[in-house]
A and B are shown apart, each in its own frame.
Chain A
């Protein structure tokens, strides 16, 4: 009866704090590291934050039930155990842990924070992340009659339960995401004031936030988790322009830059005045087909989607346009994910093969002629590299298949999102994906699951849904990973979207700065950096 869903969490439960090797080095552990950020767009409340500028800071100020190691695998942080008999009703037990002001982190700290984040009238940016929890729909209504989610129950000070809408074997994996961080009771008295001067339970605490200038973080002595600060603090300097930040790194004025500006992309790896940092990335660049796009429906549509995929030379695009800082995609997720493999049956369809592309297009022609239709490829142009890549893709398709392909530009991202959400693009459209937690399911379900929130192409295949459901009910990692392979094999056949490339994490550090590494999200591991 007491079948524990092991998920490897309990194994590493007491692993934290073991490696203090940077203490013995010559570099000072009390040096303050400066790092580039953008002005956080929201108060520093985890539930309000879903962008990088605030996200990087939030992750250092708070600790969740679990935390992710550099490689994307997870270990327990505030949780002592997370267990379930059926993958649907989860029981969480907490360690003794305190916020930086000394108040204890209790079951209520988590349950209250999640309920606050999910309630529609609080309009929190991260509200969507609670959707697996039972009762989420009720608190998301426009005028909700209940204020708390039915699925969350406090058992005692150190125990609470989470009931889900359906079994999800990898549910605990998402609990390290910022939406699932706890809040102290004091936060709710005046959440606006709290967001200016948050009290967290993470490796750092906020010393000062000078808006549009800098955020100064100092180590939190109350913190005793696996991510202990190895430096004297991190000061995030606000930049609106990454070129300026890069210049500062070159001049030794800034220690860490988490992204390389376009202007330096070609040169930064040979630039002597900086340390170049690259890491395999978890961001997938992809394009999706609206399911009702003329010419792309039925059997002929399937052949055409495959033909387009094989007409694109991903190798050439990543090399010529992005100077090797992106890697051609070989699946629908990304390499840093646990369980990732490049051996998905049918993934040769992602390789450039002009002859095969022509052949499949011709087969489709026999079923349903293309006529003189025009293939549009839609993108917003306010993001880096978007325009150039869509231009190049149109040309490759034109050359390989001899059809009329053309970019369709949107000036701003929100304009593009509007049309995408309302199925009005009438085009193959760009749909990059950055995972919220390190699991392949986070790439597949939200984008290609029937009726899923980000399934803007309206793809639907019962077989694929069944494979994902099977993965959600899997009791071992091996089974689950195999289910993901099966699910992806279906996508390779259907090609509802074209995976293009994995965006590598690129960054730069000043010379003399040590231990700069990126985690699975492409974010520098700030607490380990020394100089």
Chain B
């Protein structure tokens, strides 16, 4: 088990090397000169441009730029953004906000999704099941920014229950509305996944055996149906944490949340290689680590995997 975990962690190294190299190549291939954009329409002397270009290693070939980045990264120096601030500071400011938002969304979608999905699965074909089916289809079909704007307008502007935007105050209450918006799409998937697998497991042999032993229906559902049914859901939730962080780009824009999505969006717009690469590296790390956690959770949920 520990060997398995360690191997998985070691696997992250080539993943990070490869992904950062890929990003460096992509930003390098981007046409135009981001340094020029710093100065805008106003003329600026070549010597000043050279100065700034050298400061960001933009005068080096991209392989060299990448190696210089890695060299800094080993000593936890991720370079500077075009604003002259350390990228590590920027990320340290933005990352906790997005993590908080993503975890809130994850809890909301997991709790509501599993509960609704289980009920729908237990009452297959009944009114609740059909309602959930229609609702989840609707939620999946409508783009997230539509929900964002509509909910912002209704609950933020018209009803005034929530602040319409978050800004500097990233309290639990302020983040609740965007977290719900962010959770919506995945919520629909979780309902469908849980429902299908609960419905399938209800007719499985081991459930029939459990019932035959005379166990109460509540114990049967909790111990024998849910435990098995949650495996696909957990897989989805694990992968979803990464997706939630990436999806936050839209939500963070709509609700003006100073998180990693906003940071990445602005950095890409300005061609700020150090910031983009650092942010994406963190995203990769989150993906890798959550999939590791998912694999470990499997073992806990399903003894067959544990003892394999």
Interface residues of A (CB under 8 A from B): 39-43, 50-51, 120-121, 123-125, 127-128, 140-142, 192, 195, 210-214, 237-241, 243-245, 247-248, 250-251, 253, 273, 382, 410-418, 421, 432-434, 436, 446, 453-454
CB distance from A401 to the nearest CB of B (A): 29
The reply to whether A127 and B44 form a contact with Cβ atoms under 8 Å apart is: yes
Closest to A254 in B: B165
B290 near A: Cβ within 8 Å? no
CB distance from A2 to the nearest CB of B (A): 37
The reply to whether A240 and B36 form a contact with Cβ atoms under 8 Å apart is: no
B84-95 CB mask vs A (1 if < 8 Å, else 0) is 110001100110
The reply to whether A243 and B263 form a contact with Cβ atoms under 8 Å apart is: no
The reply to whether A123 and B258 form a contact with Cβ atoms under 8 Å apart is: no
Which of A40, A125, A436 touches B39 (beta carbons < 8 Å)? Answer: A125
Closest to B81 in A: A41
CB distance from B265 to the nearest CB of A (A): 7
The reply to whether A253 and B163 form a contact with Cβ atoms under 8 Å apart is: yes
A-B contact pairs, 10 of them (CB 8 A): A41-B82, A50-B40, A121-B51, A125-B44, A140-B45, A244-B165, A247-B164, A251-B160, A253-B163, A446-B43
**Top 6 A-B pairs, shortest CB-CB distance:** A415-B32, A213-B168, A453-B43, A414-B37, A414-B32, A142-B47
CB distance from A375 to the nearest CB of B (A): 23
The reply to whether B258 and A213 form a contact with Cβ atoms under 8 Å apart is: yes
Measured in the bound complex, the distance between the Cα atoms of B70 and A426 in whole Å is: 40
Closest to A453 in B: B43
With A238-B258, A412-B37, A415-B31 known as contacts, the answer to whether A50 contacts B42 (CB < 8 A) is yes
The reply to whether A212 and B258 form a contact with Cβ atoms under 8 Å apart is: yes
Closest to B256 in A: A244
Measured in the bound complex, the distance between the Cα atoms of B263 and A240 in whole Å is: 9
Measured in the bound complex, the distance between the Cα atoms of B33 and A413 in whole Å is: 9
Q: Which residues of A contact B50 (CB under 8 A)?
A: 142
The reply to whether A412 and B153 form a contact with Cβ atoms under 8 Å apart is: no
The reply to whether B160 and A412 form a contact with Cβ atoms under 8 Å apart is: no
Give B40-89 interface residues, CB cut-off 8 Å to A: 40-48, 50-52, 55, 82-85, 89
With A434-B41, A454-B43 known as contacts, the answer to whether A41 contacts B83 (CB < 8 A) is yes
Closest to A214 in B: B168
Q: Which residues of A contact B47 (CB under 8 A)?
A: 120, 140-142
The reply to whether A248 and B44 form a contact with Cβ atoms under 8 Å apart is: no
The reply to whether B31 and A411 form a contact with Cβ atoms under 8 Å apart is: yes
Give B149-167 interface residues, CB cut-off 8 Å to A: 152-153, 156-157, 160, 163-165, 167
Known: A120-B47, A212-B262, A436-B42. 10 other contacts (CB 8 A): A41-B38, A120-B51, A142-B46, A240-B262, A243-B254, A244-B165, A244-B255, A247-B152, A417-B32, A454-B42
The reply to whether B156 and A247 form a contact with Cβ atoms under 8 Å apart is: yes
Q: Which residues of A contact B35 (CB under 8 A)?
A: 414
Closest to A143 in B: B47
Measured in the bound complex, the distance between the Cα atoms of B51 and A24 in whole Å is: 53
Measured in the bound complex, the distance between the Cα atoms of B93 and A496 in whole Å is: 49
Indicate the member of B156, B254, B256 with the most A CB atoms within 10 Å: B256
CB distance from B142 to the nearest CB of A (A): 18
Q: Which residues of A contact B274 (CB under 8 A)?
A: none
B34 near A: Cβ within 8 Å? yes
Chain B: residues with Cβ within 8 Å of the partner, total of: 52
Q: Which residues of B contact A247 (CB under 8 A)?
A: 152-153, 156-157, 164-165
Q: Which residues of A contact B52 (CB under 8 A)?
A: 123
Q: Which residues of B contact A251 (CB under 8 A)?
A: 156-157, 160, 163-164
Give B248-276 interface residues, CB cut-off 8 Å to A: 253-256, 258, 262-263, 265-266, 269, 271
The reply to whether A128 and B43 form a contact with Cβ atoms under 8 Å apart is: yes
Measured in the bound complex, the distance between the Cα atoms of B262 and A213 in whole Å is: 12
Q: Which residues of A contact B93 (CB under 8 A)?
A: 211-212
Closest to A433 in B: B41
Q: Which residues of B contact A241 (CB under 8 A)?
A: 253-254, 256
The reply to whether A125 and B160 form a contact with Cβ atoms under 8 Å apart is: no
The reply to whether B254 and A244 form a contact with Cβ atoms under 8 Å apart is: yes
The reply to whether A240 and B253 form a contact with Cβ atoms under 8 Å apart is: yes
Q: Which residues of B contact A238 (CB under 8 A)?
A: 167-168, 258
CB distance from A271 to the nearest CB of B (A): 12
Q: Which residues of B contact A248 (CB under 8 A)?
A: 164-165, 256
